[in-house]
Each structure stands twice: as structure tokens, then as C-alpha cells.
Amino acid sequence: MVLGPEFYSQDTAIVARLLIGKILVSTKGGHRTSGRIVETEAYLGMEDEASHSWRGPSARNSVMFGPAGHIYVYFIYGMHYCLNIVTGPPEVGEAVLLRALEPLEGLGAMQQRRGTELTSSLASGPAKLVQALGVDISDNGTALEGAEELWLEDDGTEQAVSSGPRIGISRSTHLPLRFWATGSPFVSKRGTPG
């Protein structure tokens, strides 16, 4: 089944945890590619100084203050995009960063886009999964439900989930808002724990 707004409107940390095991599907560029989400991070509103939204709405983060279930894509480090899903009520500006996928469909297209044949390197990082699925800034602000190029599915898989501090940030580092599929070899490297 395809997930709808009532799913994304829940508490952001809950959504981040529930997203582990769900399937992200892309048909961009005429290739069907998909992967199971194995790692996410929650980014909250003004109490979370690591979140783009903590100082309030701006030109870049405005999508975070829009409807839940929409996509927030941003450009970082001069060369990478990251993919987020807007969550919670619109006025607080919260979202979940997708950090890693286990590749399922369209391995050939992913290998071509990523320039590697190593399955464990195709989508094991936030910028990697964006590249593997052909996502770019044109997806910023689009809705997941009813989309023709990018959406999420639930195939009923039950997945054990671990949690811990987020990666690659310098503020609010103590918050345990990172979630990953316990024992999965497809999570991003810098987050070692099982």
C-alpha cells in the first residue's frame, strides 16, 4: 500500500522510526528503481538547533513548514543533495532525512548513476541514495501521495530498529534521533553501532 498524509502527520520521531523497512520507489529518467529504507534521522523545530527550521521559515526551508508527506530536497557542500520527508503539523517545520536504502529494483540503473557496481555502496548514505534514484532539486516541494515519479510503499515487512545520536552535525548532537535497521549492512558507514 502507498502511505498517505495521515502517516506523515504523526510525531516526527515516530515517523522516522516507522519509515525503517518501508520502500522508496522512483521512476525518474524512465528507470524504475527502489530500495528499502534502512536508516533515517528526525529533524525537529525550534528546539532542535541542528534542524534547518529552528530559526523559523526562510527561502530554503519553506517546504518544511508546508504539508506533511511532501518532499524537501536541499543542496549541501557544493555538490550533494539530501532527501527529506516533511512530517508533523505544518507550523512547526519538521522533517525526516532519509540516510540509506537497501537496493531492491533497478540495480543496473543505480550502478550507472553511481559509477560503481558494489551494491553496498549504491545507496548507503543520504547523498548516495539521492543519486541512485535520480532525485534532484526539481523534486523539492512535491507530494509523495499520488506522485508518478517518487513515492513510498509499505509491503508489511517487520523490521527491528535501533536508535542513537545523529551523524555529521555539530549542534543538538545529544538527541537520539537517528534510527536504523538493526544489523543491516546497508546503513551509512560513519554510524558504526550494530
Chain residues in the site for DNA (CB under 7 A): 41, 43, 50-53, 55, 58-61, 64, 72, 75-80, 82, 84, 95, 97, 114, 116, 121, 125-128, 166-171, 188
Query: Please, what is the minimum distance in Å from the beta carbon of residue 75 to DNA?
Result: 5
CA distance 24 to 34: 5
Query: Please, what is the minimum distance in Å from the beta carbon of residue 192 to DNA?
Result: 9
For DNA, give the closer residue by CB, 26 or 51: 51
Question: Looking at residue 148, what DSSP letter applies?
Answer: S
For DNA, give the closer residue by CB, 50 or 161: 50
For DNA, give the closer residue by CB, 17 or 166: 166
CA distance 113 to 110: 5
For DNA, give the closer residue by CB, 158 or 174: 174
- Half-sphere exposure in the Cβ direction for 24 (13 Å, CA): 29
Query: Please, what is the minimum distance in Å from the beta carbon of residue 177 to DNA?
Result: 11
Give alpha helix (H) positions in the chain.
5-8, 12-18, 107-114, 126-132
Query: Please, what is the minimum distance in Å from the beta carbon of residue 10 to DNA?
Result: 18
1: nearest Cα among 182, 157, 159, 184: 157
